[in-house]
Amino acid sequence: MSKNPLLFILIFTSITLGFLTLIKGIQGQNLNLPTRAKVIGMVNGDLACYVDLVDDNGQEYLGIYAIFEICEQQETFLNKRVKLSYNEESFNDCESIEPCGKTKRVKAITEMTVIAQ
């Protein structure tokens, strides 16, 4: 390895910035969530309800945040085509259900209505 610390710092900074840009791009994909899709999975997790969708073009959206009330109606929505509404909601930003004092705001499904196939 080179003994030039400036070269090491430049390479490290470049890799870090590239990684952060990738993460920001992945998070930004949630800005274009479908308003109509088929529900292919639902999980009532510790911190949120997570919904898996597939839109009319076959694009999958996995692990989309939803309010807990959505998962309570799993029998109504699973494997059905639905109309979706989203809002910014606060969720615990902890590693478990135990409160840690941190929250995050996430675009989440707040309404789901079954529609005709």
How high is the mean pLDDT in each 10-residue block of the chain (117 residues)? 62 51 41 93 94 97 97 97 97 84 94 92
CA–CA distance from 2 to each of 9, 42, 64, 108 (Å)? 11, 51, 44, 48
In 3D space, the residue among 76, 39, 74 whose CA is nearest the CA of residue 55 turns out to be: 39
pLDDT at residue 21, rounded to an integer: 38
pLDDT at residue 43, rounded to an integer: 97
d(C-alpha 27, C-alpha 105), whole Å: 12
Quote the DSSP letter at residue 45. -
pTM > 0.75: yes or no: no
33-114 CATH fold? OB fold (Dihydrolipoamide Acetyltransferase, E2P) (2.40.50)
Would the CA dihedral through 78, 93, 28, 12 be positive or negative? Answer: negative
d(C-alpha 21, C-alpha 102), whole Å: 24
Tell me the sheet residues that pair with 90.
105
pLDDT at residue 58, rounded to an integer: 96
